Amino acid sequence: MPNSENKTNNFNEQLSNYYQQFRVYADRILALSNDSLEKTVNVALALCLVCAVLVSIATVALRPLQAHNKALDMKKNILDVAGLLDEGTDIDQAFKERIEAKLVDITTGEYVDGNVDEYDQRKAAKDPAQNEVIPPEKDIASIRTKAKVAKVFLVKNGDKLQSIILPINGYGLWSTMYGFLALEADGQTVQSINLYDQGETPGLGGEVVNPNWRALWKGKKVYGDSGEVALTLVKGTVDNSRPDAATKVDGLAGATLTSRGVSNLILYWMGPEGFAPYLNKIKANG
């Protein structure tokens, strides 16, 4: 008999022995009185084992589905800030047709090669091999580290660049807020903001997700006349008669600290340590 067949037979025999022993043991336990401690402990242990196996199988089996849903959710956030999300929009289709993801070296503002689909900027920001520690005096957005490479999204209309979607993050009162800022192709005019992941208080700082507040951003300008980042939130309502009204957005009522966090993250990410080099290149290239 070949060696491998011999091994298989031995294994099957051993398995059968184990099963017989298990049956004898199980029969003995099941025959015990329901009040016995030994039966109670054994039934509880068996139940735990079965549940653990089921949870493990569910975790492993659902992992690809979770990853797909996470990616879909991110595409939805991007289409939302791009103004391309309507009820019934086919997310994958719309994303494929209109959005192009690109990797950008934040320091130089140049596009870099890499696997753009696989790249996770949030993970990279926490990985010492891929991140950069921000010196405290420059850390306006209170994020401590940033990825060296950013993943930006270009919204295309045919061959024409319609808008640029930039990832942004910064600390509010309770949480680091993550989002996207969409700028028109001029690299100056805001199309929309979407702080899709934040842990501020619902009804106070959490109003960053309120569509009415988000709508106030449309058409605002990021940079002032001398090229400095001028876009900030003001306490209360913007006085539209002010000459700088185009760079001011209403602060969130009762949430001064979250509002300050939003101003700070704009100041950081639109500034020289953030996307200013990239946006300058876009502007220079027309």
User: Could you tell me the smallest distance in angstroms from the CB atom of residue 201 to ligand FMN?
Assistant: 3
Q: What angle do CA 217, 286, 97 make, to 5 degrees?
A: 65
Residue placing its CB nearer to ligand FMN in the complex, 91 or 253: 253
Out of 106, 140, 143, 173, name the contact with ligand FMN by CB under 6 A.
173
User: Could you tell me the smallest distance in angstroms from the CB atom of residue 213 to ligand FMN?
Assistant: 13
Q: Which stretch binds ligand FMN (CB under 6 A): 96-104, 133-141, 226-234, 250-258?
A: 250-258
The full DSSP string for 188-211 is: SBEEEEEEEE--PPTTTGGGGG-H
Residue placing its CB nearer to ligand FMN in the complex, 199 or 219: 199
Q: What SS3 state is found at 229?
A: strand
- Two structure tokens written together for 17: 């022995």
**Residue showing the smallest CB distance to ligand FMN in the complex:** 205
224 binding ligand FMN? (CB under 6 A) = no
142 binding ligand FMN? (CB under 6 A) = no
- Two structure tokens written together for 32: 């015990």
Phi, psi for 191 (deg, rounded to 5): -95, -45
Q: How far is CA 168 from CA 15, 35, 174, 181, in A?
A: 57, 62, 17, 7
User: Could you tell me the smallest distance in angstroms from the CB atom of residue 131 to ligand FMN?
Assistant: 27
170 binding ligand FMN? (CB under 6 A) = no
Residues β-bridged to residue 234:
250
User: Could you tell me the smallest distance in angstroms from the CB atom of residue 256 to ligand FMN?
Assistant: 3
- Two structure tokens written together for 45: 């242990």
207 binding ligand FMN? (CB under 6 A) = no
Which positions touch ligand FMN (CB under 6 A)?
A: 173-174, 200-201, 204-205, 254-258
